[in-house]
């Protein structure tokens, strides 16, 4: 079930933490800021949702990109343009 809270993100702390969220989802945020953010999220549903959906956004791009390969006609033309057709796997 989806949960809608506020439409606007108005808290001052949230704004200050915004720039740290990307590093946080990568697990690369330094320890001190990390605990500040986690403490803040205990009381701030909005930030928790932003973090969760940010993490999911990155995951979705990862998940879909890894399945996308070069189309076989484009691959064939590439090998031809480089004179390495002999090594094109059938």
Partner 1 sequence: MNGNENKVETEGFSLKALQAGDPEEFSRVVDAYSSNIYRLAIKMLNQQEDAEDVLQETFIKAYRGLKSFDGRSKLSTWLFRIATNEALMVIRRKHPEVVSIDEPVETEEGEQEPVEIIDWCCLPENELLSEETKERLDAAIQILPERLRVVFLLRDINDLSTHETAEVLGLSDTAVKTRLSRARLRLREELSTYFSERTKDLREAQLNKSIHASPKEPR
Residues of this chain that interact with partner 1 (CB under 8 A) are 1-9, 15, 18-19, 21-23, 25, 28, 46, 49-50, 52-54, 56-58, 60-65, 68-70, 74-75, 77-79, 81-84, 86-89
Output the smallest distance, CB 27 to partner 1, in A: 12
| Residue pointed to by tokens 């890894």 | 66
d(C-alpha 9, C-alpha 15), whole Å? 8
Nearer to partner 1, 21 or 34 (CB): 21
Output the smallest distance, CB 20 to partner 1, in A: 8
Output the smallest distance, CB 55 to partner 1, in A: 8
| Residue pointed to by tokens 């740290």 | 20
| Residue pointed to by tokens 């390969």 | 69
Query: Does residue 21 come out as left (phi exceeding 0), alpha (psi in the -120 to 50 range) or beta?
Result: alpha
Query: What is the Cα Rg of the chain in Å?
Result: 22
Nearer to partner 1, 31 or 83 (CB): 83
Nearer to partner 1, 43 or 78 (CB): 78
């Amino acid at each position: 079930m989806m949960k809608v809270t506020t439409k606007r993100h108005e808290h001052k702390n949230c704004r200050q933490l915004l720039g740290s969220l990307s590093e946080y989802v990568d697990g690369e945020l330094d320890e001190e800021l990390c605990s500040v953010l986690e403490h803040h999220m205990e009381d701030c549903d909005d930030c928790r949702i932003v973090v969760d959906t940010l993490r999911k956004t990155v995951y979705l791009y990862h998940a879909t990109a890894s399945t996308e390969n070069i189309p076989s006609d484009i691959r064939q033309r590439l090998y031809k343009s480089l004179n390495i057709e002999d090594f094109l796997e059938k």
